[in-house]
Amino acid sequence: MRSFEWFKMPHRAAVVSLIVTALLVCFVSLRASPEVIWSYVPGGELSGTPAYTRDGRVVFAAEDRWLYALDADGSLQWRYDLRRVPLTAPAVGRDGVVYIGLNPDRVVAVTPAGRHRWTVTGSGQPRAIVAAPGGTVYTVFNGGEVSARTTQGGLLWRHWLPHNLSADPVVTADGSLAVATQDNSVAAFTHRGINSWVYRHNQRLNVLAAREDGILLAGDISGAVVALDSSGTPAWRSRALGASIVALHVDDNAATVAVSSDGSIARLCADGALQWTARPPDGISAVALSGDGNTYAVTAYGRILVLDSRARLLTEETSSRGQPLAHVALTPGGRLLTGGRDWVVDLVATSVAPARRHTDVLGQWSNLRGDSRATGVARGYQGPAAADYADVLDYIYLSELVRSDAVGQRERALRDIEERVAAGRVGGSYAYVVALLLQLVESSSGSGTTPTAAVQPEERERALRVLAGIADATVNSRIARALGAERSSEVRVAMLQTLGAIAADPDGDAAAAIDAAVRRPGAGNREAAAAAWALYQIALFNRYPARQKAQQTLAWITSEIRFSHQTRTQASSYLRGSE
């Protein structure tokens, strides 16, 4: 299009805005409808944008006080009675657990199989939940409470801010939690709960978004977007729109798409330069971004608009019901999930499918911000690692004890960690305590490769019992891998018990490792009994394929004559209970 050569002109953004708006007006008369793959009608309006999980499920909550999980074909997998009105969009962790905030002050966790896991209360109505990589679950309440929890609901740290929240929180590229409050401020907290910086703006900030390069974006009530670096220092400020910013989305090239309260949309370059703005007659209510730079927007009249990165209108399609659309999410498979004011959830295929589909792990988490990668976590952040604590004296102290050749020193470290876990005092040391316990577990006697080569089976069993008490789902794959190479029968039993205590098995690693371990020629009754219990817990917690694999192995144990009658009977009971 010749018109897009005008991007080089001094007033190119204004000119392009007029062209795009005119095109949007012209396309109102075109009434093509998207292909509806399936529809589902809950008993009330959605509490937020549906979440798309790693295993292909669609999860959403509605005002009828139910949490729904649908399979990829739209069939109901399960629904969970929340008993209270949901206030937030669902957040989904890497282990498949769904977190949602309820009126008036609760956050509930539900397993991938639709069973209750835990409930916590906070100060005021929940604002949002962010399930971050590494197993930390951030719960933020409107009254100013900001807390970090384990996947088991255990409190890591908590802060009470002096003002109410004004925006949903995000996790930045360095792992900091950024929150905005009604005193026009943004505060950042490290994963250890330390307040690292505070930025004070001259307007209230309504929305935050995090870029992969460490930039934090904030949109204010005047229509401006400000970019903050990792120290909270402004990098640039752009007046994007003429009304309050209500949504910010970041694409693969660090460009930003902003939506305002009057239904306008704008696209900013990575340096904040305004590319274009537009506003269709019916106003844009929500957008989602694809990996190829296209913007998928829904409107108050039930239309779906697809714009490319240069604001060219690729297609305009209208919902067959023509009802206002309030939510849109782009699935990894390139289809759109839409939610309307008429309560209907649709999975639709537009005439313009994304050229690039999101098949990476991050791309299959829930979406709090519309596009399939937008979980409230900066893309690329994988969670804290032990190296992040290299300057923490407590980590240095415990690490030296764990790596010591002296049994007494390792005993001292284990006793210290056990006391912390038992008293609920793990706090900000959570990540490195888990990492240190794993060091002990993965140290095999006689390997001669590490300073912990002399670690005895009894010490490793003890470390596994502590890990079972913590039940951090992020370690199950490492324990599953270690199980296959483990030589000690006692340690194998402890590993099986730990995998059962964790229960979460999103990729089926634990179920497969347990199956291989129990089928070993030398596996005895103790291992079979521990395996049966672990498989039962996995079958209860997870869905297919982990659940199916667990049930298949339980069925095998029940018929394996080398195991005792008691073990086979117990496995049979577990199998019936898991169905």
Co-location of 439 and 570 in the same domain:
yes
Co-location of 300 and 395 in the same domain:
no
Whole-number average pLDDT of the chain: 85
- Whether residue 348 contacts residue 333, with contact meaning beta carbons closer than 8 Å, is answered with no
Co-location of 310 and 454 in the same domain:
no
Q: List, as one string, the DSSP characters of 78-124.
A: EEEE-SS-B-S--EE-TTS-EEEEETTTEEEEE-TTS-EEEEEE-SS
Domain annotation covers residue 207: yes
Co-location of 414 and 450 in the same domain:
yes
> For 168-183, what is the mean pLDDT?
93
Confidence label for 162 from pLDDT (cuts 50, 70 and 90): very high
Co-location of 232 and 345 in the same domain:
yes
Domain annotation covers residue 370: no
> Residue 60 forms beta bridges with which residues?
68
The answer on pLDDT for 363 being more than 80 is no
Of the candidate ranges 18-32, 114-128, 307-321, 565-579, the one whose mean pLDDT is the lowest? 18-32
Token readout for 244 is 């309050």
pLDDT at 355: 58
pLDDT at 443: 82
At 439-470, the pLDDT tens digits run: 899 886 433 344 445 788 999 999 999 998 88
Number of domains in the chain: 2
pLDDT at 12: 53
Q: The domain containing residue 513 runs over which residues?
A: 386-578
The answer on pLDDT for 323 being more than 90 is no
The answer on pLDDT for 340 being more than 50 is yes
pLDDT at 579: 82
- Whether residue 351 contacts residue 315, with contact meaning beta carbons closer than 8 Å, is answered with yes
Co-location of 111 and 8 in the same domain:
yes
Co-location of 457 and 308 in the same domain:
no
> What's the CATH code of the domain at 66?
2.130.10.10
> For 549-570, what is the mean pLDDT?
95
Say how far apart CA 355 and CA 334 lie, in whole Å: 8
Co-location of 393 and 255 in the same domain:
no
At 70-111, the pLDDT tens digits run: 988 899 999 999 999 999 999 998 888 999 999 999 999 999
> What's the CATH code of the domain at 516?
1.25.10.10
Domain annotation covers residue 373: no
